[in-house]
């Protein structure tokens, strides 16, 4: 059996209960993987002590006092596990929860579909501190995902399960964007000839906080999202209706939080 690496970037905002729940979901996998964690910046003593309690079950914990961001953290993790010879790499967020069969399903899929370089799946969003639940579905085939990308990202970052060939073809996360490293990586992947797929299964439960929608606003982020979307359109040769949608999304991102909350629920 080919080895699976699970990569996780952790930073100070993760709470001890969230960490424990996330790690518990990794230990409960039907098909286990080796766990690699990058601590991105200083964290509380409480969180460090909680993490240290698990060190015998974690393959590698790499601490860095300076916070350098999610793209750089995952790139360092990917470089490490690729250098160690892992064939499959799963990405996970430190405050989310894997379904028990996630790694088994994705491993089996890639073993039986040798042309696919990366596979994702559905997510179930849940309210961390308020009543909220929603299953978010994504297109399944490469062709459907390419068309879907004219408007939105075609797979959930937290569900991604890579074959090492993806990085050999497309490289690592771009670090030019402060908020859309996944958008630009999928752009690079499509441009490099990588093959994509999603599974019709909920693979990860994603935690949503009350301030999630308000945090997704601001002129700077809206403009960054718009510029990155235009780069995707130019690079992949999408037509005018993709540009129209990009302008529409710029307006949504500039809207007040309560408006975004309504639209987010309807459009997802």
Quick one: pLDDT at residue 144?
Answer: 97
* pLDDT at residue number 232: 87
What are the tokens at 239? 């037509």
Residue 39's beta-bridge partner residues? 10, 63
CA distances from 63 to 42, 51, 60, 91, 167 (A): 8, 11, 10, 18, 24
CA-angle at 173, arms to 178 and 58, nearest 5°? 105
Cα diameter, the chain: 54
* C-alpha–C-alpha distance, residues 116 and 120, integer Å: 11
Of 98, 72, 108, 115, give the one whose Cα is nearest residue 159: 98
Q: What is the 3-state secondary structure (H, E, C) of 218-264?
A: CHHHHHHHHHHHHHHHHHHCCCHHHHHHHHHHHHHHCCCHHHHHHHH
pLDDT in tens, the chain (268 residues): 579 999 999 999 999 999 999 999 999 999 999 999 999 999 999 999 999 999 999 999 999 989 999 999 999 999 999 999 999 999 999 999 999 999 999 999 999 999 999 999 999 999 877 788 899 999 999 999 999 999 889 999 999 999 999 999 999 999 987 778 999 999 999 999 999 999 999 999 999 877 665 555 567 777 678 888 888 888 998 887 777 676 767 666 655 655 555 555 555 5
What's residue 95's pLDDT?
Answer: 92
Per the CB < 8 A criterion, the answer to whether 186 and 142 are in contact is: no
CATH 2.30.29.30 at 4-210, yes or no: no
* Residue 160 backbone class (left: φ over 0; alpha: ψ -120 to 50; beta: rest): beta
What does the domain layout of the chain look like in residue ranges?
A: 4-210, 211-268
> Strand pairing partners for 91?
7
**CA 163/CA 57 separation, integer angstroms:** 24
Both structure tokens of 204: 């990860």
**Separation CA 59–CA 241 (nearest Å):** 47
Distance CA 169, CA 84 (A): 18
* 97-98 and 88-93 beta bridge pairing: unpaired
CA 44 to chain centre: 24
| pLDDT, position 250 | 61
């Amino acid at each position: 059996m080919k080895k699976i690496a699970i990569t996780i970037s952790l930073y100070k905002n993760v709470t001890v209960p969230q960490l424990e729940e996330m790690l518990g979901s990794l230990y409960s996998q039907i098909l286990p993987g080796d766990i690699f964690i990058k601590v991105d910046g200083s964290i509380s003593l409480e969180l460090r002590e909680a993490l240290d309690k698990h060190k015998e079950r974690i393959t590698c914990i790499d601490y860095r006092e300076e916070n350098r961001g999610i793209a750089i953290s995952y790139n360092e993790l990917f470089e490490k596990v690729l250098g160690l010879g892992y064939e499959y790499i799963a990405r996970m967020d430190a405050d989310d929860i894997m379904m028990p069969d996630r790694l088994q399903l994705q491993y089996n899929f890639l073993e039986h579909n040798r042309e696919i370089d990366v596979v994702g799946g559905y997510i179930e969003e849940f309210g961390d501190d308020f009543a909220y639940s929603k299953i978010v579905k994504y297109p399944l085939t490469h062709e459907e995902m390419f068309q879907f990308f004219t408007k939105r990202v075609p797979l959930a970052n937290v569900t991604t399960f890579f074959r090492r060939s993806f990085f050999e073809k497309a490289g690592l996360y771009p670090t030019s964007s402060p908020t859309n490293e996944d958008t630009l990586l999928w752009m690079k992947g499509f441009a490099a000839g990588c093959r994509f797929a999603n599974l019709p299964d909920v693979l990860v439960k994603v935690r949503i906080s009350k301030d999630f929608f308000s945090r997704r606003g601001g002129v700077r982020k809206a403009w960054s999202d718009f510029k990155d979307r235009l780069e995707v359109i130019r690079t992949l040769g999408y037509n005018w209706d993709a540009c129209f949608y990009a302008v529409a999304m710029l307006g949504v991102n500039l809207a007040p939080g309560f408006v975004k909350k309504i639209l987010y629920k309807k459009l997802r």
